[in-house]
Chains A and B, each alone.
Chain A
């Protein structure tokens, strides 16, 4: 079986500063992996490097999706190839209507696949259906993308986009940050609905509580730009008990 995502001895810098210092990770189809780590361990950098953001320079190693290196691909090409990043801080797009934004994203995939663009009416129905599951109402869909959304609304909107774009590899960057208990439950349920044998997820989080809702198959502890420890979901509970300090020392 080809791994869905294979990260090989990945080194990356921001500016002159090395952040990732040799990460190796293999994610098979359908698996959910969690990455936990203290602040400044390189968690967010990792998500941006996977998505191909400008300014995040890979200095060594490789990232393969379905056996193909993504390093030369632009962020939009990676996205259309199935890479999705749920942002920790979703970005506001003033004046850009939600429906036209979502349609542009879906159509970009259709065009690349040589298919017809989505039917406008059918699309609105599809979006409304998926939005309802996430507690997103029509009024919110009519607003400009993320403008004036609460923290919880922004995160639900990210999961709505994930549901529409049906990625094969979803990276969720601190999806729990800024959420109260109820919002956390709605978002997690949305994510769990999207678990699928053909779809893998990488859940990046600081706290164990998200992993009570989105239960991972594997947990990795990232510190100082390296994976210090890997294990089953019980590893997350260990961290919860004793903190990251012991793990950092083990390096």
Chain B
């Protein structure tokens, strides 16, 4: 694949293997190290939050203190010292911005380098971007055009101030503060993220995108995203993420909540490329994320598409609660692990509504010494009359030192529900490699081509603008895995 070759060359020239591994030298405003109620108050004060928000955070913090880190996943997680981290870090120059012209040029340059142009002349065609740098949102593009359509797309910190009734009504509705250990931690210390509100009957006129960047050393990133689609509304949203190359591990514990009303549709795509650590397993991001959507109304649809190539450890199960009659949940996933990466990822489809349908297509690729586990729950509740699920889990192994695991949980409490599960495990065959090589395609490009073919059913679900980027990412992430 020629485009891949070109990118690989560029990457090698730039930084070795992980092209986003640079650090932006920018002054930051940090909370003191460690975690206690005063830090929670500090964050809330810095964000100029109303009292109810602080109370909500403190409730979450107290809840978190009583909880324990989950240990049921097939992951080897070293103990995390939550007192040895900063919970708030913001570029110092940030103030309330009226236009992108006021954004620190150093920050604009950072996003430019990441391939996310924010300035008005060069911005991505028809994609509105919210850029989150460490703990704060630094820029949101296309806001005017969106507000004309009645769409709200802004940093969640701003939404707490400007749309308190919406935030109060929906935040924590899908992922309650005590849902799990990492969600409780996020609820206590989240610093920013995106807020999207699509009013009734509105089809969002462009792709919305949030780009997360961890820059500061020893910081955790805890962003929170809330997307609400009213009746007959439609939105497609994409998040991307990168972090500098550092020797220590950094924690990323996000919460994403989606609410789809009657006949509404939310399409949520992720291209996750957090720093995975070096080839000896040193450093990298711990990506412990809770993502869940609820189809509240009839015929509502939520679709998760994820291409995950980064992070040292991934713990993530984007899920759908299918409450509405004939509501639809979809999960399309590519999870690629190489070197010492570990991933335990999958989905939960909770069928409540009559006639609700779900589709799960999971493609796991393991290379190097990595361990890649699909874990998924399909739960048909007694009310889920005639509900249907189709699950397909395919694993591809590259080399003989990695592992692929599939752990499906299937619960059916309604005899009319239909559940199908298909699973395969395969390798790239020597025949396939030789065929590509004989056509003059080099070894790494051949692997990239074959693996991208393996992932095709998922790739075609990504928004057009991001397909090529995701394909290149897969090529780069597999570098050095053959030969």
Contacts and interface: CB of A to CB of B under 8 A. Distances in A.
B445 to A, nearest CB: 6
Interface string A100-127: 1101110111110000010000000000
A183 interface: no
Interface residues of A, number: 34
Contacts of B456: 95-97, 144
Given A103-B2, A117-B3, 11 more contacts: A53-B434, A55-B430, A85-B438, A94-B453, A95-B452, A95-B457, A105-B439, A105-B440, A110-B2, A161-B439, A165-B440
A174 B167 CA distance: 69
A105 B449 CA distance: 11
Interface of B: 1-3, 5-6, 429-432, 434-443, 445-446, 449-450, 452-457
A108 B445 CA distance: 9
A74 B453 contact: no
Given A104-B1, A108-B2, A111-B5, A91 B441 contact: no
A76 B435 contact: no
A102 to B, nearest CB: 8
Contact of B454 (A75, A94, A104, A105): A94
Contacts of B429: 91
Contact of A100 (B5, B434, B449, B454): B449
A174 to B, nearest CB: 16
Residue with the greatest number of chain A CB neighbours at <10 A, chosen from B431, B440, B441, B446: B440
B45 to A, nearest CB: 52
Contacts of B430: 54-55
A165 to B, nearest CB: 7
Given A76-B441, A100-B1, A108-B441, A95 B454 contact: yes
Contacts of B457: 95
A93 interface: yes
Given A94-B453, A95-B453, A111-B2, A105 B441 contact: yes
B336 to A, nearest CB: 15
A107 to B, nearest CB: 3
Nearest to A86: B438
Contacts of A87: 435, 438
A54 B435 CA distance: 12
Contact of B453 (A76, A90, A105, A144): A144
B432 A95 contact: no
Contacts of A169: none
A76 B443 contact: yes
Nearest to B363: A95
Nearest to A85: B438
22 contacts: A53-B434, A55-B430, A75-B434, A76-B436, A76-B441, A79-B437, A79-B439, A80-B440, A87-B438, A91-B431, A93-B432, A93-B436, A94-B454, A95-B453, A95-B455, A101-B436, A103-B2, A104-B1, A105-B441, A107-B1, A144-B453, A165-B439
B453 A93 contact: yes
A96 B437 contact: no
A56 B413 CA distance: 57
A157 to B, nearest CB: 12
Contacts of B452: 95-96
Contact of A104 (B2, B434, B435, B438): B2
A51 interface: yes
Interface in A52-91: 53-55, 74-76, 79-80, 84-85, 87, 90-91
Chain B interface main SS type: helix
B454 A107 contact: no
Interface string A132-168: 0000000000001000000000000000010001000
Contacts of A103: 2
A203 B453 CA distance: 32
Contacts of A84: 438
A195 to B, nearest CB: 21
B334 to A, nearest CB: 12
A211 B453 CA distance: 37
A79 B440 CA distance: 5
B134 to A, nearest CB: 38
A75 B437 contact: yes
Given A91-B432, A91-B435, A104 B453 contact: no
A76 B482 CA distance: 15
B408 to A, nearest CB: 22
Contacts of A93: 432, 435-436, 449-450, 453
A75 B1 contact: no
Contacts of B441: 76, 104-105, 108
B238 to A, nearest CB: 22
A54 B457 CA distance: 31
Contact of B438 (A51, A95, A96, A101): A51
Nearest to A48: B434
Contacts of B450: 93, 96
Residue with the greatest number of chain B CB neighbours at <10 A, chosen from A87, A104, A105, A117: A104
Contacts of A144: 453, 456
B2 A107 contact: yes
A101 B195 CA distance: 41
Nearest to A90: B435
A145 B208 CA distance: 35
Residue with the greatest number of chain B CB neighbours at <10 A, chosen from A53, A80, A93: A93
A161 B450 CA distance: 18
The 3 A-B pairs with the shortest beta carbon distances in the complex, nearest first, are: A95-B453, A107-B2, A96-B453
Contacts of A117: 2-3, 6
Contacts of A111: 2, 5
A80 B440 CA distance: 5
Nearest to B426: A94
A76 B439 CA distance: 7
A144 B435 CA distance: 14
A73 B446 CA distance: 17
A76 B440 contact: yes
Interface string A184-195: 000000000000
